[in-house]
Amino acid sequence: MKLIENMRKQALEELALAGDAGGLEKWRIHYLGKKGPVQGLMKELKSLPKEDKPVFGQLVNKLKNELKEAHGVAKERLGAAPKSGGDEDLTLPGIPPLIGTRHPITQMMEQMISCMKSLGFEVAEGPEVEDEFHNFNALNIPENHPARSEADNFYLSDNQLLRSQTSTVQIRVMENRKPPLRIIAPGRVYRPDSVDASHHYMFHQIEGLAVDKGLTMQDMKSTLIQFFAGLFGEDLEIRLRPNFFPFTEPSAEVDVACPFCKGKGCSTCQQKGWIEMGGCGMVDPNVFKAVGYDPDVYTGFAFGLGIERMAMRRFGIPDIRYLTENDVRFLSQFPG
């Protein structure tokens, strides 16, 4: 009886330690199998007096049944507990995958393109490595003009440079097409400015050009008003201030009433009520001559706007350097 009692104790202790289905099965094969120690107890029968044999047999059978039952209970307990691996709860909500966002400059550019497309303009492109003809000569920028200086441009060789303005695309398009035309050219431009919170040696502009018979400054102004209305979602007043650009005559700087304070003055517009957007004007006859258009037949207007400046205002970005650092913590703040 002592033997039986010890066996029971040992078996139940080990059962309590079996923590998974594999351990439980091992325990079952060991204790309930034909070659196991419980069955082995029957060998003791031989050495027992005759009258004790039936009682001993009954007790071993009782132990077997008891262990079977304990095994069943342990199996059930294990089945109800959470399992690891293979049996995940498919009804749990998923973990949303990390998807990228478009760069704020790209978002701004795409919005501008869609505004201008709705006004009948199409997108044109030009190379970032340009020659002097397209970057200067054809744009009526004279040989000795300071805009050509080595300090203000990234020259690659005597006649090659990284374009300093998207106005080059005006020339590329007019060389290859006949008027009427309406194009916009968004893209990168390069100038050797020292980098600080509001300056970079690489930034983006969007250039607009329309050429047709009889286009006037009024067409330019209404196009710009509609462009900014599309961009800011409402009609905003614009202001043209006289200026000079070699490739337009007359030329102007275009300001738009601050969309945040509606012209009252706020921190975004530095209390001015207006935000400077870029330059514009009527295409200079010399530019038309350079591309073989007859300035007595055609007129046109053009504009060039900085994209970084607008994106920084739109998204509240305080430092232009964030835009090129590719820090995901920054970029993920502009879903879209």
Q: Which residues bind ligand DAH (CB under 6 A)?
A: 165, 167, 207, 245, 248, 251, 278-281, 302-304
User: Is residue 3 a contact partner of residue 41, using CB atoms and an 8 Å limit?
Assistant: yes
HEC letters along 243-309: EEECCEEEEEEEEEECCCCCCCCCCCCCCCCEEEEEEEEEECHHHHHHCCCCCCCCEEEEEEEEHHH
Q: Between 291 and 331, whose beta carbon lies closer to ligand DAH?
A: 291
The nearest distance, CB 318 to ligand DAH, in angstroms, is 23
Structure token pair of residue 62: 């009782």
The nearest distance, CB 100 to ligand DAH, in angstroms, is 31
The nearest distance, CB 240 to ligand DAH, in angstroms, is 11
The nearest distance, CB 273 to ligand DAH, in angstroms, is 22
Q: Between 62 and 244, whose beta carbon lies closer to ligand DAH?
A: 244
Q: CA quadruple 124, 191, 200, 271: dihedral positive or negative?
A: negative
Amino acid making up residue 95: I
Q: Between 208 and 263, whose beta carbon lies closer to ligand DAH?
A: 208
Q: Between 36 and 187, whose beta carbon lies closer to ligand DAH?
A: 187
The nearest distance, CB 251 to ligand DAH, in angstroms, is 6
Q: Between 153 and 251, whose beta carbon lies closer to ligand DAH?
A: 251
Q: Between 199 and 262, whose beta carbon lies closer to ligand DAH?
A: 199
CA 104, 105, 111: angle at the middle one, nearest 5? Answer: 90
Whole-number CA gyration radius for the chain: 41
Distance CA 290, CA 114 (A): 30
The nearest distance, CB 246 to ligand DAH, in angstroms, is 9
Instruction: List Cα–Cα distances, 263 to 50, 258, 268, 315, in angstroms.
Output: 114, 5, 11, 19
